[in-house]
Every structure is written in C-alpha cells, then in structure tokens.
Structure 1
C-alpha cells in the first residue's frame, strides 16, 4: 500500500527514548534520595512526575507498569525515613498512588490520541480522493502534505510537492483565492469545480472540497472529473449535431409534406369521381398526420440537451396554462413553495396534461394541480372533472403512437419526467375525471 512506510518508521530520536527515560528516572531518584537525607519530603517528590509522564507518552501501553514501578521505588526509598510516623507513611502511600494514577491517565489519553491519529492517517493515506494539507506561509500557502492520490493527480512525488505553493497548480489563480475566501468565510467548501495544471503541463478538471483547521491550515480533497467532463462534452457535441441533423431533416420533410398537400389539393379540384376523392382524402389525412408528428418533434428537439435545474412548480404550471386556448376551463395550481429538479422542458409536461384534459375530457370545467408529501418522495396530482379514462387505456395512453395529435404528447411527457427519475401514471375513476400522478424521488424536490 502507498505510504505504509510511515507507520513503520520511528520518529526522530525514538531509539534514544529508553536511555533518556532511564537517565531521567535515575536523576530524579538521586535528587529525592539526597532530599530525604536532608529532611526534604514535600517538594522534590513532584519531580517523579517527569519520567512518569514521559514514559506514559512515549510508551503508553507500558506507562502504568512504569509508573507503578516508580511508585514502588519511591515507597522503598521513602518509608525507611518515615520513622514509623503514620502521617509520613500515609503521605508517601498517597504520593505513590497519585504517581500510578497520573501514569494511567496519561497512558489512556495518549492511546486514545494515537488511535484517532491512526484512524485519520488511514483515511488520509487511503482515500480515493486526492487529499492535501495546505499550510499558511509568509510567501503564500504551501503544500505541507499530500496523499498517494494527490501525488498521482498532479503527476509528481510527495517529496517534490511538499513546500510547493498550491497556487502553482491552479490554472486560474483566482480560483484558489475564491476557494480560500469561502473556506475562511464558511469554514468549508464543497463541490467547487475548477481546473488544475499537472507538473507535466496537462490540465485536469476537479471538484474541490475543503475545510479550515483550528491552526489555520486547510485540508483539501479533490476528485478528478476530467473523464466525466470529457464524456459530457462529447455527448453534448453529439447531441448538438444530432439536433442539427434532425432540424434539417424535419425542414425537408415539412417542405415535402407541404408540397404533397398542395398536389392533393390540386387533385381534389381536378377530379370529381367519389372513389378518387375518397382516396385523396385518405392521402391528405396521412400527410397531415406526418405533418403533426414533425411539428411535435420540433417542440421536443431540445429534450435532454440542456442540464436539469430546480424549477418552481407554481410558475411552471401557470406558464403552461397561459399558452393554451382553455376556452371555459379553469386551471388552478396549489403548489406554492415546491421546487422540482427536472429537465428544462418540464413546462411541456403540464402543457400536454392540461391540453389533453381540455381536448379529450369532454365535460371538463377545471384542472387542479396539487401535491402530497409521502415517505417515498413527492406526489404531484393533475386532476380534471371530465369523463376520465377507461381502465383498459390507463397505461396505453403513454405508448408511442396512441391517442390524438399524432400520439406523441403523453409518450414524451413520460420521457421528459424520466430524465430526472420521475414517473407518471393515471389513477382516476372512469366517468369521474382523469387523475395523473407524478412521483418525484426524495432528492428531486424541495420546499422553499
């Protein structure tokens, strides 16, 4: 594993610790022995805390044993000088007990501290995200530490990165300033997208997250999204080209259909034979069907081309209703404060549902849009008081080629919603009105 050598490596001077510990204990006991011979029994015993604390910190798993040994050693040295006085004996025993207690507490706290350090060291070293520790400096922020993924991201080695100014790797110098400002203002930053420049000159796109540490240093985690961004750019370019091709094809098709309709109209004026006229009527209807479907594809040519966004549902419904010939049908929306994460063509969803109610509901006088919070997300209801939809047709209406207007409206409604994980179904009672239920996943809506 990368960087595992750190765990095995001993800190500088670690091999000298037993010798230093033995020397400090010997000196402290020598001083206390001299003090006892001189009749000093109060101040000098406190010096024994020094080797106890050092032992408990350097060797926490043996700290209690060492402090117990020092306590017993102190008793063996102090009791002969007690002269049988109960007060002096109790005082010596109390000091020995405190020595052991101090060693136990320091050992426990040191073990906990090292466990936490090992835990966070493991997270730092083995994280799949590139992680950097940035320290302030008089000449600017510098990299103090980097994990394996960080060195791989920048195409370098840790010893070459340590001490380097972090601004060197930001393609836009202003990006680091914005990251730093937001970290020191909000104590953290999440999902900030920017570009870095590797040591070999190659650019990488990253998502930056980070937080401020109490000592003023900054911990940064970077996720490489270069491949994802390249795929998104390629997909966007492909969609743009397909969109252009579809537009050109549709224009040619519309021109051809218009020409065909003109020739059929000329034939209707030229021929009086009922059989021929009926044949021409059928041709005209087929041509108009092609024309309607071409017009619908024009409305939906940008489907999925632009990224989804948060949209206020009340405004979306009102915008859809304002563009439709509603005649005497009223549209009421009770979805204030609700926002959904959806394709920018969400307005077409409600436009189609409302238009479908007006055209096919026969007795429709009102369309009502409401919502309900549920355990599995949000339910948006689009209801009317028309004739409803027969049980056999509740799923069929969403199929391609079914229904009026070329049969694409409700099919595309389902496609638009599915882009962000939403679903739609019809649950109304035949004869009592249609009731479309749009299910929004838990992460796809918010109340503002």
Structure 2
C-alpha cells in the first residue's frame, strides 16, 4: 500500500513537472516572437527548483538539460546579437548552477529525512509526534511500535487526543509542565489505557520540537514491573519462611538449653558435666547465629538507594555502647548507592573494632576518590588483624559472632557492586577499605 501511494505521488509530480516545462518553453517561444527576452526566462526557475527538490539525484542532469534546451531555443533567434547571446549564456549557466545547488541541498535534506524516518519507524520504543492545538494535544504521527502499544494502527491514531490513552487524566499536564520547565523529560513513569481497556505501564520521555510540537517516546515496562512485583512477593514469602524457621530453631535451642541445665543439676559425674557444658556452648553459639540472622532478614528485600554516608555512620554509632571509644566520620558530602542495610555495615565494623581491637580508643572513617571509584576507609588504633586472618575473617562460619557479621557485611556491600578488604598493619590497628564503583557514589 505504501509503495502504491509513493508511485502515485511520483507520477503526479512528473506530470506537474512536465506541464511546468511545456508552459515555460511555450511562454518563452511566444515571447521571442513578440520580442520579449528579459522576463519570461524566469519561468524556467519553477521546473528547475521542482525537479531539484522532488528528484534530487536527477536534478543536476535535469537543470543542465533544461539550460541546453533554453540555449537551443534562444540562440537561433539571437544570431550574432551579442546583447542577446551573452545574457542567454549567463542565464543558462545560472539555471544549471541553481539546479545543482538545490539538488545538493535537497539531497542532504532527503538523507536527513530518511535517517529520521529510519529512527522513527524502526525504534523499539513507541514514538509519537504530538501537536499542540486549541483542542488539546493530539497525535500527529506514530510509529508501528507506538500503535501496537496502544492497541491501534498508525492511521487510526492520527488526530486522536493523547489524554484519551492516559489512565490518569492529570498525567499529561504534569508531563508537559516538566517539559516546559526543563525542555525535556526522561523516564516519567505512568499508566496507559489501550483501546481494548488493558492497562500498560510505560516509561515516557519527551522533548519540545520547533513549532511547538512534542516528540514522545514510550517504553513498555509492564513485564518488568510485574516481574519486580513477583520477585518482591517471593522475597516477602521467603522472609516469612525464614522468620518461622528461625523461631522454631530458637524454640528448639531454648528447650535444649533447659534440658542441659536439668542434666547439670541431675548428674555429678565430672566427665558428664564437662560434656553437658560443651553441649551448652554449642547450643548458645547456634542461638547467637540465629539472632544475627534475624538482624539481617531484610537483606536485599528493599531496593537500593542513595544514602548520605555521614548520616549513616552517625546513626550506626549512636546505637552502639562504645565506652572510651570515639567515632570520627570525615565523609561529608558523600552519598553512596547501597542497600538500605548499609548502616549495619558500619555498625558491625565499629563494633568489631571495639570488641576485638582491645586497645582501641578511636575509629576514623575517611574517603578518597580514585581513578577506579571511591575508597572508604574504616580505621582504628587497636591491635589489628594478623596477616593470616585478613581474608578468613570474611568467610562464613569463621569465629563466632564477628565471623558471621563480617560475612554479611561483604554480602550487603556486594548487592550494589561494592567490595571490602582488610589492609591494616598488625599491631598498629585494623583498616577496612570499602571500594565503591565509579557509578556508585556522588559528591553533593
């Protein structure tokens, strides 16, 4: 259908071009017979410009042919009259030059238009040109993806009001206000209502065009949001299952400790009592591990976000009992993109220093911008970590409470691509370095 329309349009243009050529040459021939040679040649500009604009790849040849035809028409009448020959030659050169210039400009314009059409028609996003008129914003043009997104066809969408496809009537006004304020809008989330009534969640982006129109692109995120909702529900169910399992485990451990205590009261044999004491220590270790997992049960449940580091550190330190230890954060103006449980990271590192540093009197948190991202340093002046333990302290099951805590610290940081390692000098203090990727921090 599109090919037939294009062929019919070209046939019409060829007829108009042929008619303009015949009229121009007929008028010039009649003018020569009447002795008029200075005005009527300007009629030839019309077919030259039309041919160069409509058929730019053949416009240069056409203009040269038209100039030669003009010479063939005029020179026989001019004879040896230089007053007529020279202007005729000059006009012929001008005809060819104008045809060449217009053809080149039109060819460049055609290439840009084809490039625009290629982007517009083949974009994976629904793309619309919205005209702003007295009757409100209406769709002036739409690509195939956009028409499919709205459950219609490109032809049927032309002239339709944009607001008719919005689930929230006020969404367009908010969108346009943002464009008027900033010139463009990116990733504006809203809900569309298809022609069949189905709801489609999209990310809308748009910008102002010359002439007052708006180019609008829509990306369907319905499947993504549905998957995110399903994942969120699944995480909530897993979280609930973990909570129930932990409660059952804590109840079983509590019962076990009661039975061990009863055994300690019942038996006097030293060997039996030592065995029961060992069982009690193991049971209490399981109990402490279960308590720690309760603190981290929401890990990854909520989406990451930008967090002011100074406030996070101060909030973490305020919840700890640190007699004789000062916490000095020097991380103003730094924000990091991290899991909402980032405060547990610093609480654990500070508590780890207070519990195992023995001679710790201060914990200092600083940062340094590097070529590969940001380094956040948590340093203390305690005894430090032995070289053989620097990596093992992050492994699951190493040590008691601190081992599991540092394991979870690494897990929390890894959610947004951060890493942690211990680089301190044994005997001079521990130094934990958190590496933040380049897109994971900002200075405000």
Q: Same fold (TM over 0.5)?
A: yes
Within the candidate set 373, 378, 382, 1:377 is matched to 373
Aligned twin of 1:186 = 182
Within the candidate set 165, 172, 175, 1:169 is matched to 165
Aligned twin of 2:50 = 54
> Counterparts of 1:12 and 1:18 in 2: how far apart (Å)?
10
Within the candidate set 335, 344, 347, 2:343 is matched to 347
- CA-atom RMSD in angstroms: 2.3
Deviations 1:409-436 (A, max 9, x none): 1111111111111122222233332222
Within the candidate set 240, 243, 247, 2:239 is matched to 243
The count of residues paired between Structure 1 and Structure 2 equals 444
Q: Cα distance 1:292–1:59, how it changes in 2: closer, same or farther (>3 A)?
A: same
- Residue 277, structure 1, aligned to residue 273, structure 2: yes
Deviation, structure 1 residue 406: 6.1
> Counterparts of 1:401 and 1:237 in 2: how far apart (Å)?
30
> Counterparts of 2:226 and 2:286 in 1: how far apart (Å)?
37
Aligned twin of 2:423 = 427
- Residue 253, structure 1, aligned to residue 252, structure 2: no
Aligned twin of 1:317 = 313
**Structure 2 counterparts to residues 206-221 of structure 1, below 5 A:** 206-221=202-217
> Counterparts of 1:46 and 1:271 in 2: how far apart (Å)?
124
Deviation, structure 1 residue 385: 2.6
> Counterparts of 2:379 and 2:29 in 1: how far apart (Å)?
96
SS in 1 for 2:424: coil
> Counterparts of 2:80 and 2:349 in 1: how far apart (Å)?
101
Deviations 1:352-408 (A, max 9, x none): 111112222223232222222223222222222322222322221111111231631
**Structure 2 counterparts to residues 86-165 of structure 1, below 5 A:** 86=82, 88-165=84-161
- Residue 330, structure 1, aligned to residue 326, structure 2: yes
Deviations 1:122-173 (A, max 9, x none): 1111111122222234433222322222222223333333332222221222
Range 98-107 or range 84-93, more displaced: 84-93
Within the candidate set 264, 288, 292, 1:292 is matched to 288
> Counterparts of 1:447 and 1:87 in 2: how far apart (Å)?
78
Deviation, structure 1 residue 298: 1.3
Aligned twin of 2:439 = 443
> Counterparts of 2:44 and 2:154 in 1: how far apart (Å)?
42
Q: Structure 2 length normalisation: TM-score?
A: 0.92
- Residue 367, structure 1, aligned to residue 353, structure 2: no
Contact 2:184 2:206 in 1 (8 A): yes
Contact 2:48 2:95 in 1 (8 A): yes
Q: Cα distance 1:88–1:405, how it changes in 2: closer, same or farther (>3 A)?
A: same
Aligned twin of 1:23 = 19
Q: Cα distance 1:313–1:182, how it changes in 2: closer, same or farther (>3 A)?
A: same
Deviations 1:201-242 (A, max 9, x none): 222221111222212222222111111111111111121122
Q: Cα distance 1:9–1:390, how it changes in 2: closer, same or farther (>3 A)?
A: farther
> Counterparts of 1:13 and 1:194 in 2: how far apart (Å)?
40
> Counterparts of 2:9 and 2:2 in 1: how far apart (Å)?
15
Contact 1:130 1:149 in 2 (8 A): yes
SS in 2 for 1:171: coil
> Counterparts of 1:7 and 1:361 in 2: how far apart (Å)?
80
What are the ranges of 5 or more consecutive residues in structure 2 without an aligned counterpart?
none
Aligned twin of 1:202 = 198
Contact 1:28 1:48 in 2 (8 A): yes
Contact 1:293 1:406 in 2 (8 A): no
Q: Structure 1 length normalisation: TM-score?
A: 0.91
> Counterparts of 1:214 and 1:122 in 2: how far apart (Å)?
20
Deviations 1:270-303 (A, max 9, x none): 5544333322322221122112111111111111
Contact 1:289 1:406 in 2 (8 A): no
Range 124-133 or range 275-284, more displaced: 275-284
Q: Cα distance 1:11–1:177, how it changes in 2: closer, same or farther (>3 A)?
A: farther
